A and B are shown apart, each in its own frame.
Chain A
Amino acid sequence: MIPAAFDYVRAGSAAEAISLIGQHGSDAKFLAGGHSLLPLMKLRLAQPSVLVDIGRVTDLSYIKDAGDHIAIGALTRHMDVEKSSVLAQHAPLLAHAAGHVGDPQVRHRGTIGGSIAHADPASDLPATTLALGATYVVQGPKGSREIKASDFYLGFLESALAPDEMLTEIRVPKMNGAGWSFQKFNRRAQDWAIVGVAAWRRNGDSGVALVNMGQTPVLASSVAGALKSGASIADAAELAVAEASPSADNNASVEYRTHLAKVLVRRALEQASA
């Protein structure tokens, strides 16, 4: 399967990428690792007329300790997130989740920025960064702005990014020794989660987010709220789907997803509390 024809331009920097995307209008798209976009283009579910390749903007591939948070460049590949010693120390939940994206070939090419910008509710890193209370830095023709992960996801594959804005950095608060867990339930290795849960817990505080439980990644605020007011893990986990709106597909019915979410949230909290 071959994508529909398109024009290809290459950006050497974020500024150049933003100017190119502005120049080519709403039919142009950024190409990062291509591991979400190219499969869609091959199926002709996406037919951009211009691709602006940002894969060579290597100065946006970094993982830095920035004091209270870790700053991750949008072009950092899943494999580099997985293997990062900085993240192993300060945000092990994210490193671990990145190691569960697809397979090694996918992790060699796919980027954290592409995964977040794509805003797929079934993807692992949008929900994981949401659970961690991350902030995304985006840059557009008028300068840069910060968007909280909790304000970023608007609908299925829809985010607060304007078409001429580029995601440049992901800021993840340090976990400061919090317990954590990543539960990914699937039937075949390499697959997306049927349901997934990213969770952390430290003293009274916690963060829980769900993968593939609605049109967007879902922050399970009710679970965190219940834990804060002293509920048991079992009782809190019963609230797993309070914010979710799962749909049915070939893998799971709504009832099954709902059941899985509660079970996986309970397991995640038990592991994060151990």
Chain B
Amino acid sequence: MQIRVTVNGVEHVSDVEPRTLLVQYVREALGLTGTNVGCDTSSCGACSLHVDGEAAKSCTLLAVQADGAQVTTIEGLAGKDGSLHPMQKAFMENHGLQCGYCTPGMVMAATSLLKEIPNPTEEDVRIGLEGNLCRCTGYHNIVKAVLACAGK
């Protein structure tokens, strides 16, 4: 089936099998491998990206469900000149990553969270990131980074 998806500001028209997962589509068809697959069972959040501005788990979405949508992946957050998004900067400055595997998903979930709760408490951040697991258990610094990005 033909779909038309705008990914990181670029429109793509593609033929996909209906069973193609959105994460497969961005990684394999578009070569945007920043979005990781962790659990593949909608638990870990590593595959989080934005669909129409809201975080979603792309291992649990079909590409055809994103037909007509605006999708943003981690590659789309940084400026055209490579300058980091404030959330990426905050993760770097607060040591919010260790191995980095969960990081793209964490950053996408965190930017979506700040859109919904611009002025979060620490508890808001912890609860807001409950769909994202970090195997390196760097949660303290991840929460610190998100709070720093929110100006706290």
Contacts and interface: CB of A to CB of B under 8 A. Distances in A.
B107 interface: no
Given A1-B40, A39-B42, A6 B65 contact: no
A190 B40 contact: no
Interface stretch (B49-57, B83-91, B143-151): B49-57
Nearest to A110: B60
Interface stretch (A101-109, A130-138, A147-155, A238-246): A101-109
Contacts of A189: 127, 130
B94 interface: no
B62 A34 contact: yes
B36 to A, nearest CB: 14
Contact of A103 (B54, B116, B131): B131
Interface string A96-119: 000000111110110000000000
Contact of A108 (B1, B20, B40, B56): B56
Interface string A35-56: 1001100110000000101010
A5 interface: yes
Contacts of A105: 45, 48, 55-57, 109, 131
Interface in A53-69: 53, 55
B24 interface: yes
Nearest to B24: A2
Given A104-B55, A109-B56, A2 B131 contact: no
A38 B62 contact: yes
Residue with the highest number of chain A CB atoms closer than 10 Å, among B48, B60, B116: B60
Interface residues on B, range: 20 to 34
A9 B51 CA distance: 21
Interface residues of A, number: 28
A81 B40 CA distance: 27
Contacts of A55: 65
Contact of A51 (B18, B21, B42): B18
B70 interface: no
B109 A104 contact: yes
Interface string B105-145: 00001001100100000000001101110000000000000
Contacts of B128: 104
B119 to A, nearest CB: 16
Contacts of B131: 102-106, 190
Contacts of B55: 104-105, 108
A106 B42 contact: yes
Closest 3 CB pairs of A and B: A103-B131, A8-B18, A189-B130
Interface of A: 1-8, 31, 34-35, 38-39, 42-43, 51, 53, 55, 79, 102-106, 108-109, 189-190
